[in-house]
Amino acid sequence: MKNKPLIIVAGEPYSIFLEIFFKIFKSKLVQNYSRAIILIASKNIAEMQMKKMNFSFAFNMIDKNQINKLKINNKKINLINIDLNFKKPFGKISSKSALYIEKCFDTALNILKKKQGFALLNGPISKKHFLGKKFEGITEYLAHKTERKNNEVMLIFNKSLSVSPITTHIPLKNVNKKISKKIIVNKIKIINKFYKEKFNKIPKLAVTGLNPHCESNYNSSEENKIIIPAIKILQKDHLLVKGPFPADTIFIKENLKKFDVIVGMYHDQVLTPIKTLFGFNAINITLGLPFIRVSPDHGPNNQMLGEKKSKPNSLKEALVFFETLNEN
């Protein structure tokens, strides 16, 4: 096995994540995985959900302070237990889980800070109940926790095509206030660096405009004032960037073959088409942190909790993705 384990934070306890983790764990993918997988979660919740959904796996309890001294494999679920004394295996998402989720993340981040973990994968989390109004999303939360604020980049990755929004979970009315030449240039350079380091590839990037058809009825449009100048800066630095393209046509089949990544100005501008194209066969990657962080591209889906109908496609994609990356 490769040296460092993959660290998984289960996330919201009342989500479908443990169900899909159990489904994946019994597959050949995990049994033949190249590195150990360590799950950070409540043993109490995991055992109750496992029993209710008729799964049966043994646990290998892991001391979070002894990871570098352990020889572990994936024959059992390697678990770092974070106490959560909820009495029901299936319940409603609420702010009661916030402290538990924070302890899970703190445990994972401490392992990664010590260079004892390879990367972080976290299950879905209710932004409303966990983050409140403090952060726009988990991307920004992790950037804050690792002191990488303003360097975080959301990349929704599929090997055929990836997308990245310059702004993430903010109201549409605020998007034009949150984009700048500096932000666009910085984020695209981080994407370019990621592809070069992890895939030995210089990516071809397309950038959308902000306004419909990249046009507006006033002279100082965001395209002319911000987006086009940013693209010119990147092109002078020899990045393979083109645009701006109208968002309503950049995703047609003829264009998709030309690019590796499409960078949009706001969340739904690029996430709606990528999910239409690939469903949940894509993963959410946070770039710009001291480590690679991935989240399966689905939400907590509390209403389907316990029904055993949730598909593990996105988690599978995430695990396969990690197998393609270099150790460093």
pLDDT of res. 159: 86
In this prediction, residues 139-150 reach a mean pLDDT of 90
106/164 same-domain check: no
292/243 same-domain check: no
138/69 same-domain check: yes
136/70 same-domain check: yes
DSSP state of 201: -
134/166 same-domain check: no
pLDDT of res. 317: 86
Q: How far is CA 94 from the centre of its chain?
A: 22
33/99 same-domain check: yes
CATH of residue 211's domain is 3.40.718.10
Tell me: the pLDDT tens digits for 31-54?
A: 889 999 999 999 999 998 998 889
pLDDT at 245 over 70: yes
144/31 same-domain check: yes
User: What is the domain count for the chain?
Assistant: 2
7/146 same-domain check: yes
pLDDT of res. 194: 93
pLDDT at 171 over 60: yes
d(CA 280, CA 268): 15
> Whole-prediction pTM value?
0.87
Buried b (16+ CB within 10 A) or exposed e, 142-165: bbeebeeeeebbbbbbbeebbbbb
40/146 same-domain check: yes
The domain containing residue 86 runs over which residues?
1-152+288-328
Rg (CA), the chain: 20
Q: Are 169 and 130 in contact (CB under 8 A)?
A: no
pLDDT of res. 150: 83
105/211 same-domain check: no
Tell me: the pLDDT tens digits for 8-31?
A: 999 998 888 999 999 999 888 998
Provide the pLDDT confidence category of residue 327 given band limits of 50, 70 and 90.
low
Residue 59 CB contacts under 8 Å (≥ 6 apart), including other chains: 43, 46, 76, 77, 78, 79
202/164 same-domain check: yes
